[in-house]
Amino acid sequence: MYINKIKILTFQLISVRKLFKLQDLLSFLRIRKLYSVKYIEFINNAKEIGLDFYPVGTYDWELWRRDIKNNFSKNLPIYFLHSHNISKTMVFGSTKYQKNKLLLIESCFQKEYVKRMLRESFIGFPIISNLKYLSSENTIHQAFHLSSYYNVTNKNFVDSQRIVEWGGGYGCLARIVKK
């Protein structure tokens, strides 16, 4: 068990080193203090248009929002993906179907595009589950959704004028689309 933890830690350290980009770090450090400002703007806008948050599913949205606000009120930590509220509600981690998901992704998009789409940023310290693409399961899962869309419609999401994402999470899908 101890050996497995060392292997996982070594794997993560190697991955972060390969993914590290100084420009990403500098950008993150510059904008992370804006999180609380943007959060307050979002809540005020939601109230203005009458959007009400209510408890659904397995957690209470009001409690979740309050915890996020309190935890990130000064700034967003660089390891934010490991925050309990983020990791338990916005990060997909099961690798059970990773091989099948990658097969569909690879069949829908060109090899270089797949590499660029799946490659993580080290910001957030994502858990790398695929060394070939230096990707987390969450990014693979989001790319799988885009591949499924392509597979069904024969349309590339990049050609769309508008993309609507219900939920939004921490922005993984938006990051993939931006790439």
Q: What pLDDT digit, counting tens, does each position of 155-170 carry?
A: 888 788 888 777 777 8
Q: Out of 2-16, 39-53, 64-78, 165-179, which region has the weakest mean confidence (pLDDT)?
A: 2-16
DSSP string, the chain: -HHHHHHHHHHHHHHHHHH--HHHHHHHHHHTTHHHHHHHHHHHHHHHTT-----BTTB-HHHHHHHHHHHTSS---TTGGGSHHHHHHT-----TTHHHHHHHHHHHS-HHHHHHHHPPPSTT---EEETTTTEEHHHHHHHHHHHHHHHHH---GGG-S----SS-TTSHHHHHHH-
pLDDT, residue 143, reads: 95
- pLDDT > 90 in the chain, percent: 28
Q: pLDDT class for 54, splitting at 50, 70, 90?
A: low
> Which residue has tokens 């450090």?
29
Residue 2: is its pLDDT beyond 80?
Answer: no
Q: Buried (b) or exposed (e) across 126-142, using 16+ Cβ within 10 A?
A: bbbbbeebbbbbbbbbb
Across the chain, mean pLDDT equals 83
- For the chain, domain boundaries: 2-20+76-178, 33-74
Amino acid at 55: P
Residue 55: is its pLDDT beyond 60?
Answer: no
Mean pLDDT on 98-112: 96
Which tokens is 137 given? 């399961």
> Which residue has tokens 């990658």?
102
CA distance 156 to 170: 23
Residue 16: is its pLDDT beyond 60?
Answer: yes
